[in-house]
Amino acid sequence: MTNWKRVAALTTLVLAAAAGMVAAVVLYIGWYDVSATQPHMAPAHRMFDIAARQSIRARVQDVQVPDLDAEGRAVSGFKLFRAHCVQCHGAPGLAPEPFARGMMPAPSALAGSAREWSAQEIYQAIRNGIKMTGMPAWKYRLDDDEIWDLVAFIKVLPTLSPADYQRWARQYPGSPDTRAAASHAGVPIQDVRLGDAGAGRQALHQYLCTTCHAIPGVVGADRHVGPPLGGMADRLYIAGVLPNTPANMVHWLRYPTQVDPQSAMPDLGVTEQDARDIAAFLYTLRDDK
């Protein structure tokens, strides 16, 4: 390596180390304001915007778009939009709910997104959510057909005036029959096959398990509102009442208040598949000997 290359490499390392130290000091002394009364600084906002858009674009190449003009699809999407989206994003002539107006970053107006984003990109954003924006991953709440129904309506949204939107509201009242609303408690299924532990680890975040429990190896799962979940595979009982079997674990995850009406753990609408996946992950947690 020539002298100038050595100098350039050393200079780069020194500058990177200095930048890291400055960033660490800024964070440690609390100089960066994380309150929701101030927006992100322009460079940070731009960085997040580019990262989100490029991340979504990189993951939609294999997404196949169904017929968005199929009969009833946009109407179903409109009902889903009213049930789940308008609260944060608003609609033509309709403001978001007060809590959403204080979110930072502010939820986007979807008429603009519909013009700028492809159907595949909208689907990806709805299905998998976007970190640090308040946008959840709806694949844990809606099935794929429902998500495509939403995409179909969102692509129509830029064509609707406030009067048009109100006309749709009068013409198509009522709420959609979503997957979560259709679920109902039942007796445990005896022959339960556990699912994908990796998917279960991911689903823990989507059902807020990490907000109450300390879970070994899971980022952010260090709360002690509920009991720690370490060693779940070695416990004799679930919630102190059910023998620790896969069938009972899945049933407990889906309907905790049916098992124990006094439980502080609420029914979170966990789907059958997600419960199997979460159970598979919990059974990887063993006591260290």
Q: Tell me, letter by letter, the H, E, C secondary structure of 204-234.
A: HHHCCHHHCCECCCCCCCECCCCCCCCCHHH
**Top-confidence range, 12-16, 145-149, 183-187:** 145-149
Same domain? For 145 and 78 the reply is yes
Same domain? For 114 and 209 the reply is no
Give pLDDT, residue 194: 94
Same domain? For 214 and 268 the reply is yes
Q: Which residue has the tokens 């190896």?
A: 217
Same domain? For 239 and 146 the reply is no
Same domain? For 232 and 137 the reply is no
pLDDT at residue 25 is higher than 60 = yes
Q: Which domain holds residue 173?
A: 46-181
Same domain? For 212 and 248 the reply is yes
Q: Is residue 27 part of a domain?
A: no
Q: Is residue 155 part of a domain?
A: yes
Q: Is residue 143 part of a domain?
A: yes
Same domain? For 208 and 146 the reply is no
Give pLDDT, residue 188: 58
Q: Is residue 175 part of a domain?
A: yes
pLDDT at residue 238 is higher than 50 = yes
Mean confidence (pLDDT) of the chain: 88
Q: Is residue 106 part of a domain?
A: yes
Choose between 177 and 118: higher pLDDT. Answer: 118
Q: Is residue 190 part of a domain?
A: no
Q: Is residue 2 part of a domain?
A: no
Number of domains in the chain: 2
pLDDT at residue 181 is higher than 50 = no
The per-residue DSSP string of 217-284 comes to T-TT-B--SS---TTGGG-SEETTTEE--HHHHHHHHH-HHHH-TT-SSPP----HHHHHHHHHHHTT
User: What's the pLDDT band for 176 if we cut at 50, 70, 90?
Assistant: low
- The CATH number given to whatever domain includes residue 232 is 2.60.40.420
pLDDT at residue 100 is higher than 50 = yes
Give pLDDT, residue 45: 81
Q: Is residue 4 part of a domain?
A: no
**Mean pLDDT within 237-250:** 93
Same domain? For 148 and 264 the reply is no
